[in-house]
Structure 1
């Protein structure tokens, strides 16, 4: 009997262990699948909340930009008497927008836990919506004030005077473009060409609105104020385009002057890297040798056509220096890093400025969302830090960070254009 019981136990116990382990495995698997589904669902809900927050935040950002323009219009057209409440509303909306963008960064940060990211995004959406409602209320109140106090005839005379002043000051916006086209390839002068075309369009549109307003001033059954405001808005857009034209022209000319020096500085950096290679061994030495050869070949290619494409050349040299610094790693002393940073900084700053200018233009043309606007704002902040910090190594890191942010913004803008039916342009602005 004892032997039979022992035999039975010898069969039952392994069976219980096997079936128990199987049952436990099934329970654990079901729990893991449910948790994964719940986690995926939580992430999806958080992403949806972030998207909705970003949409509302973009609306607020655009509304603040429109409000800023309206404050300027009120000062230019109506003497500014009715703009004080509008200015206060603009200040409050700007503060609310900037806080919301800071919170949005945290909500979009992968390091933020999913539940917290969802709560932050929900709060951003509510705050942005309240600020948007306040902006719309302030604009309606100001429109009522304008309708009650503004004289169309006087405002038409003021905006027409501004048109003549701006037209005479700008002169021929294509003069700078023709100068560049004699010196550089078309790609290098593209931003100047776009700005010149924008100036011509805005000046023409403002003239058209002024003429339309003149025909309405004498008719008591119609109001000329909307046409007058549209004329002033077009003039301000022309002034913005004039600034873009001058800045784009300056970037090309500065790059043309700096190109030869950047090439010489990069050659010196390559020679320095060759000297440092003697002090490393093994795989690091082989990797460094490959990077030095690639940098030397790339620099030869840049030198061959850099005179006609100076902005692209300075940018390529700055990126080449970044890759070379990464390959050198810890092979340099602190003094060598400092010396290298001093020589690399001017090119890195020029590259970051040019990339940021194009990111801002891409943002205006693409209508990209909150992420692109955040990247543009981050690039501005990093570039400002690079210009003001005293340590060359820290300044170089900040300039390269600005370049990365600007590159990210341009990629997001390109994605936004691809995602829009027809791939056309749409208005867009960036925070701060």
Structure 2
């Protein structure tokens, strides 16, 4: 018996040693490979893939914006007789763009591994490139149909009608800006002023190109397509800036109407927080008391300049209410949280709408990159979620996320404009 045990051990011990060493070696190799995949060099290479995917995604976003205008123009000009390829391409491209931006934004998280970044970036780039090819094909089909069925003269006439409608719809941009400047501080109407000047300049440029196109269309030996295309681009930009002007004007006036109610709601929230403080332990009561004192002082400061800066006032009160919620923490009952969310929601929604409008203008004029656009799209989705949420607490949380994402988008776009990147 001892001889058998000795034989087994003589065979088993070397085997255990061999397999143990092999296991350790495999573990070391696996650890080395894993560390290499997470190394700064791997992260930098993955980030390059992400940047490349973002550039393709920006091109797709620009093309989708162009398609939105082209589809509307096609329906207005040709009464639905043109091929449906543009509409199909737009729907597909919008779906690809939205899904890709959601995936792209998730790649910026620090916990995402380089391998995952590379795989997702490759997928984003491939899908966006396929959507761009589909758009190019649809445009080619549509252009061929237009050349075969629509004369240059009729296109010029239709563009002139749109230009006249734009001019009529804008009214007097100077009067809108003057109305704002007479009542509010410059930072409240600066965006409206810039949009007004840009829209007027672009409208004049479109008219010059249309006049040149009309002169060329009368000469059979010349083509009016180049001038017509330039006029169309200027007209589209004028329409975009006219919308920015109208939206800026509307938001400032709405903010001015909302300011008294927002201040009253903030004071009510402050009083209710004081009642909650009375039921807390001494240390928590002291901490909350200091926060409430700061809240009251800042509210007084905000109110002093509220009439001249209504948009900023609504925004600052929304942030102040956010701070108050954090200070109260779990001290409130569920009913108190719901009641507080209901009163804070309108101002936060207004602040988010204003922030998104500013971010949209910055993204358009800066031709910002994928990160700014991803944040902007996220803010738009969060705002839509806030409007649809039946629970006021969930709606308020979504509105606050929309506000933060819009601020991030504007900051990224402004940086891109100032740095020239």
TM-score, scaled relative to structure 2: 0.86
Alignment match, 1:39: 38
The residue that corresponds to 1:204 in the other structure is 204
Does 2:252 correspond to 1:252? yes
Aligned position for 1:326: 326
Q: Does 1:60 align with 2:60?
A: yes
Unmatched segments (≥5 aa) in structure 1? 1-27, 422-432
Output one character per residue of 1:357-406: Cα deviation in whole Å (capped at 9) or x when no partner. 11111111222221211111111111111112222111111111111111
CA distance in 2, matches of 1:379, 1:212: 42
Task: Give the structure 2 partner of residue 263 of structure 1.
Answer: 263
1:326 Cα deviation from its structure 2 partner: 0.3
Q: Give, in angstroms, the shift of residue 104 of structure 1.
A: 2.1
Cα deviation, 1:222-257, whole Å, max 9, x if unaligned, reads 211332343344334333333322221111111111
2:89 is equivalent to residue 89 of structure 1: yes
TM-score (norm 1): 0.84
Number of corresponding residues: 394
Residue 37 of structure 1 and its aligned partner are, at CA, apart by: 5.1
Is the Cα–Cα contact under 8 Å of residues 71 and 83 in structure 1 kept in the other structure? Answer: no
Structure 1 SS opposite 2:38: helix
Matches of 1:31 and 1:395, distance apart in 2:
46
Q: Which secondary structure does the structure 2 equivalent of 1:140 belong to?
A: helix
Question: Cα deviation per residue 1:177-234 (whole Å; 9 max; x = unaligned)?
Answer: 1111111111111122122212212221121111111210122222113323433443
Counterpart in the other structure of 2:147: 147
* Alignment map for 1:14-53 (pairs within 5 Å): 36=35, 38-40=37-39, 41-53=41-53
Paired residues of 2:37 and 2:115 also in contact (CA < 8 A): no
**Aligned residue for 1:225?**
225
Contact 2:375-2:408 within 8 A present in 1 as well: yes
Please state how far the C-alpha of 1:174 moved relative to its aligned partner.
1.7
Asked if the contact 1:73–1:232 (Cα under 8 Å) also holds between the matched residues in 2, the reply is no
Is 2:345–2:396's contact at 8 Å kept on the other side of the alignment? yes
Q: Residue 4 of structure 1 aligns with which residue?
A: none
- Gap change, CA 1:394 and 1:114, over 3 Å in 2: same
The aligned residue for residue 194 of structure 1 is 194
Query: CA RMSD for the aligned pairs?
Result: 2.4
- Partner residue of 2:118? 118
Aligned-pair distance for 1:80?
A: 5.0
Counterpart-to-counterpart distance in 2, 1:414 and 1:168: 32
CA contact (8 A) 1:192 1:245 kept: yes
Preserved contact between residue 58 and residue 370 of structure 2 (Cα < 8 Å): yes
- Aligned residue number for residue 98 of structure 2: 98
Q: Is the 8 A contact 2:244 2:361 kept in 1?
A: no
In 2, the alpha carbon distance for the partners of 1:216 and 1:76 equals 24
Deviates more, 1:309-318 or 1:262-271: 262-271
Contact 1:262 1:314 in 2 (8 A): yes
Which whole-Å CA distance do the structure 2 matches of 1:419 and 1:164 have between them?
37
Distance across 2 between alignment mates of 1:246 and 1:127? 36
Per-residue Cα deviation, 1:314-361 (whole angstroms, up to 9, x for no partner): 111110110011011011111111111111111111111111111111
Work out the CA distance in 1 between the residues paired with 2:335 and 2:264. 20
Match for residue 18 of structure 2?
none
Between the aligned partners of 1:173 and 1:57, the Cα distance in structure 2 is 34
Residues 201 and 391 (structure 1), Cα distance of their counterparts in 2 relative to 1, 3 Å cut: same
8 Å Cα contact 1:216/1:222 also seen in 2: yes
Measured at CA, do residues 168 and 410 of structure 1 come closer, stay the same or move farther in structure 2, by a change above 3 Å?
Answer: closer
Does structure 1 retain, via aligned residues, the 8 Å contact 2:83–2:145? no
**Partner Cα distance (1:397, 1:246) in 2:** 28
Is the Cα contact below 8 Å between 1:49 and 1:118 reproduced in 2? Answer: yes
Deviates more, 1:107-116 or 1:359-368: 107-116
**What is the deviation of 1:286?**
3.3
* Distance of aligned partners of 1:95 and 1:38 in 2 relative to their CA distance in 1, 3 Å threshold: closer
- Equivalent positions of 1:64-83 (< 5 A) are 64-78=64-78, 80-83=80-83
Q: Which is worse superposed, 107-116 or 388-397?
A: 107-116
Superposed, which structure 2 residues align to 1:128-147 within 5 Å? 128-147=128-147
CA contact (8 A) 2:89 2:135 kept: yes
Q: Which residue of structure 1 lines up, in the alignment, with residue 12 of structure 2?
A: none
Which residue is 2:390 aligned to?
A: 390
